[in-house]
């Protein structure tokens, strides 16, 4: 069985040409059935639900649309290992399987010449998606939407036969006929990124940006790399060299734990660097420019988001002595201000287990970030409920191991608390830590407003408050990365900036639903324990864990996107882990 012939692979004979005589539950002759249905009422498509042999692959018609204008029907198209005939190397590790699956989905989309077959090929990230899975045994499944052809309310049977029995297997065959050369670009990139993540963790770094990386994107809506962008280059003082299996020794900027400040004039590339770090929790496709940019997998972008709901969050380290007299150790609001929303976001991220907070002055609440010497003099501390982050950030790092990377071109007060200061100058970083420390040695008259930061006490989510049910059915829909419809409420997720695309928004909704159904959220487990359970189940079960709830295009989110979404649900109810709650759950003795 030689598959290597000058980079060209010859998969077994065209699968449609071979006869398959196995007795196997799937039915044969879909093409005949469809042709026979020509002109029948559209609803009769439903009779085709279930599995069919198409050549050697199995088509599963899982969900049939009720009319030609409804959302597409859902189908799965599966190849067992022999029929998929992938090179074993390609599915030897989880990272490679994930990359090859994305490659196959993108190839499918490219080679499919019908707009009636809709595969979710994703964007720049390599995520575990429902649209294509490569399994550890080398089997492959494509899952996609199919717009079943109709003429008015009648079945266009011959067109449907063409679509499902020719266009579909052709596109899948084309996708699977990937050359060794092309697949290896993807598997090597996956190996290198995986090795880089391991090396970065082993060296105790929180992020790494390789020399030569392209960080800027073409536009806010086009996430491909900017052509002609200035390639990244690390200052020598921060340069780290890491050996990768395929790329060899790679030099780049290593960011140590602690407080890292990114300064520089406007338009010099500060936010672009931070955004690359935000995206560094995901792997990127070859050619993206950020394949070797990685951040601690728990990195969470923090921002202000006035108007959001906050439920029972202990924000008292940041917000205390409100004029209303409200207890901020258990703070709830339907309409948070910029500063309280950002304080809540920080506390919630820590609760979910983040060890790296990413903050950009462009989207932060100034009064939560800083209160300078003059303002301290004018407004006495007793009159100011807010304690700015600048006075808590050191304790977060030193006492709790939570690092921060902060873009702050507009205030020098963070120089007092920064471990290092990077200046972006013409899109290139310079290490200006020494100079910043000299400046910090000159007193400004500013006094610290807090001694230390205490980790918030864990919360427990009440499962009854998280319901997607509308008239007995789970209702979970997404509008891009803006909004998640969960039951009869909309959750505004626009400010959860690390959500990559609509499929992830859906993945989050389904993960929340699964958390309640499976009892990961059970009214007793602390939020972080619920997230542990969910993470373990999704790690093991993959997309199948969520597809059972709804057959849709989905991408697996991290625990952090799920937590951030839960925290923005307006009906959410929580209690403190140590609280006794007689009468509500009937577990008064429980801890
Ligand atoms: P800042 O946050 O410092 O104000 P931005 O990161 O928003 O700056 O970048 C300003 C502009 O420069 C953006 O349009 C961005 O795409 C572009 N840019 C950023 N980095 C680079 C780069 N390395 N090469 C070319 N253009 C870049
Ligand atoms: Mg900026």
Contact 164, 45 (CB under 8 A): no
pLDDT tens digit string along 338-390? 999 999 999 999 999 999 999 999 999 999 999 999 999 999 888 899 999 99
pLDDT tens digit string along 31-64? 999 999 999 999 999 999 999 999 889 999 999 9
What is the overall mean pLDDT for the chain? 93
CA of 283 to the centre of ligand 1 (A): 22
> Which of 228, 272, 273, 290 most suits a substitution to test ligand 1, by most atoms within 8 Å of the C-beta?
272
Q: Grade residue 577 by pLDDT with cuts at 50, 70 and 90.
A: confident
Q: Grade residue 324 by pLDDT with cuts at 50, 70 and 90.
A: confident
List the one residue out of 430, 149, 188 whose CA is nearest residue 286: 188
Contact 241, 251 (CB under 8 A): yes
**pLDDT, position 14:** 47
Ligand 1 contact via 363 beta carbon (within 6 Å): no
Structure token pair of residue 322: 């409100």
β 259-263/239-244 pair status: unpaired
Structure token pair of residue 249: 């020794």
Ligand 1 contact via 209 beta carbon (within 6 Å): no
pTM of structure: 0.93
pLDDT over threshold 50, residue 4: no
Please state, in angstroms and rounded to a whole number, the distance separating the CA atoms of residues 503 and 143: 13
Contact 301, 358 (CB under 8 A): yes
Nearest-Å Rg of the Cα atoms of the chain is 27
Please state, in angstroms and rounded to a whole number, the distance separating the CA atoms of residues 449 and 148: 65
CA of 232 to the centre of ligand 1 (A): 12
pLDDT tens digit string along 172-206? 999 999 999 999 999 999 999 999 999 999 999 99
Q: Grade residue 25 by pLDDT with cuts at 50, 70 and 90.
A: low
**pLDDT, position 16:** 42
Please state, in angstroms and rounded to a whole number, the distance separating the CA atoms of residues 572 and 579: 17
CA of 92 to the centre of ligand 1 (A): 39
Contact 275, 229 (CB under 8 A): no
Query: What average pLDDT does this structure show over 159-170?
Result: 97
**pLDDT, position 590:** 36
Contact 183, 90 (CB under 8 A): yes
Q: Where are the alpha helices (DSSP H) in 228-269?
A: none
> Which of 210, 215, 216 most suits a substitution to test ligand 1, by most atoms within 8 Å of the C-beta?
216
Provide the residue ranges of all domains of the chain, joining segments of one domain with +.
30-178, 299-440, 459-579
**pLDDT, position 321:** 87
Please state, in angstroms and rounded to a whole number, the distance separating the CA atoms of residues 148 and 197: 44
Distance linking the first and last C-alpha atoms of the chain: 61
List the one residue out of 138, 89, 132 whose CA is nearest residue 108: 132
- Backbone dihedral angles phi then psi of residue 574, each to the nearest 5 degrees: -140, 160
List the one residue out of 315, 566, 321 whose CA is nearest residue 462: 566
List the one residue out of 299, 313, 303 whose CA is nearest residue 560: 299
pLDDT tens digit string along 78-94? 999 999 999 999 999 99
Position in ligand 1 atom list of the atom nearest CA 274: 6
CA of 280 to the centre of ligand 1 (A): 17
**pLDDT, position 316:** 95
**pLDDT, position 10:** 65
pLDDT over threshold 50, residue 144: yes
pLDDT tens digit string along 408-449? 988 899 999 999 999 999 999 999 999 999 999 999 999 999
Distance (Å) of CA 122 to CA 185, 187, 272, 351, 420 = 18, 18, 22, 30, 36
Ligand 1 contact via 216 beta carbon (within 6 Å): yes
pLDDT tens digit string along 212-227? 999 999 998 999 999 9
**pLDDT, position 3:** 41
Contact 144, 167 (CB under 8 A): no
**pLDDT, position 229:** 95
């Amino acid at each position: 069985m030689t598959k290597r012939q000058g980079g060209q692979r010859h998969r077994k004979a065209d699968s449609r040409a071979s006869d398959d005589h196995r007795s196997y539950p799937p039915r044969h002759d879909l093409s005949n059935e469809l042709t026979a249905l020509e002109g029948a009422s559209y609803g009769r498509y439903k009779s085709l639900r279930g599995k069919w042999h198409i050549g050697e692959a199995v088509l599963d018609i899982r969900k049939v649309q009720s009319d030609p204008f409804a959302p597409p029907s859902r189908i799965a198209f599966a190849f067992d290992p022999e029929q998929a005939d992938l090179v074993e190397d390609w599915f030897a590790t989880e990272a490679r399987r994930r990359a090859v699956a994305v490659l196959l989905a993108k190839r499918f989309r490219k080679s499919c010449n019908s707009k009636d077959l809709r595969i979710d090929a994703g964007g720049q990230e390599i995520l575990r998606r429902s649209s294509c899975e490569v399994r550890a045994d080398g089997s492959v499944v494509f899952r996609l939407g199919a717009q079943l052809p109709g003429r008015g309310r009648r079945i266009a049977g011959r067109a449907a036969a063409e679509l499902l029995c020719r266009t579909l297997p052709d596109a899948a065959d084309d996708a699977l006929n990937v050359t060794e050369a092309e697949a290896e670009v993807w598997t090597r990139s996956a190996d290198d990124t995986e090795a880089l993540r391991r090396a970065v963790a082993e060296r105790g770094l929180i992020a790494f940006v390789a020399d030569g990386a392209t960080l800027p994107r073409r536009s806010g809506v086009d996430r491909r790399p900017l052509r002609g962008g200035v390639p990244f280059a690390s200052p020598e003082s921060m340069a780290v060299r890491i050996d990768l299996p395929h790329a060899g020794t790679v030099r780049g900027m290593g960011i140590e734990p602690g407080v890292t400040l990114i300064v520089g004039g406007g338009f010099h590339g500060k936010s672009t660097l931070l955004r690359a770090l935000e995206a560094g929790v995901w792997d990127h496709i070859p050619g993206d420019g950020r394949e070797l940019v990685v951040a601690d997998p728990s990195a969470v972008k923090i921002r202000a988001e006035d108007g959001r709901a906050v439920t029972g969050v202990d924000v008292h380290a940041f917000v205390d002595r409100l004029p209303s007299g409200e207890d901020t150790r258990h703070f709830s609001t339907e309409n948070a201000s910029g500063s309280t929303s950002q304080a809540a976001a920080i506390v919630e991220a820590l609760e979910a287990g983040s060890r790296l907070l990413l903050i950009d002055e462009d989207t932060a609440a100034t009064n939560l970030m800083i209160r300078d010497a003059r303002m301290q003099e004018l407004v006495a501390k007793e009159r100011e409920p807010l304690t700015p982050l600048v006075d808590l950030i050191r304790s977060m790092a030193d006492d709790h191991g939570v690092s921060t990377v902060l873009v702050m071109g507009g205030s020098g007060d963070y120089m007092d608390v920064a471990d290092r200061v990077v200046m972006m100058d013409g899109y290139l970083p310079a290490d200006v830590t020494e100079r910043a420390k000299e400046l910090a040695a000159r007193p400004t008259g500013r006094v610290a407003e807090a001694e230390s930061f205490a980790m918030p006490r864990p919360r427990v989510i009440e499962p009854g408050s998280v319901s997607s049910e509308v008239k007995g059915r789970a209702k979970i829909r997404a509008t891009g990365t803006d909004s998640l419809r969960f039951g009869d409420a909309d959750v505004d997720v626009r400010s959860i900036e690390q959500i990559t695309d609509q499929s992830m928004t859906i993945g989050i909704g389904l993960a929340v639903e699964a958390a309640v159904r499976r009892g990961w959220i059970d009214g007793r487990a602390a939020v972080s324990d619920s997230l542990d359970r969910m993470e373990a189940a999704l790690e093991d079960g993959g997309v199948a864990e969520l597809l059972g709830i709804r057959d849709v295009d989905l991408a697996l989110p991290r625990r952090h996107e799920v937590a951030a979404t839960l925290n923005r649900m307006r009906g959410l109810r929580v209690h403190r882990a140590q609280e006794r709650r007689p009468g509500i759950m009937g577990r008064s003795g429980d801890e």
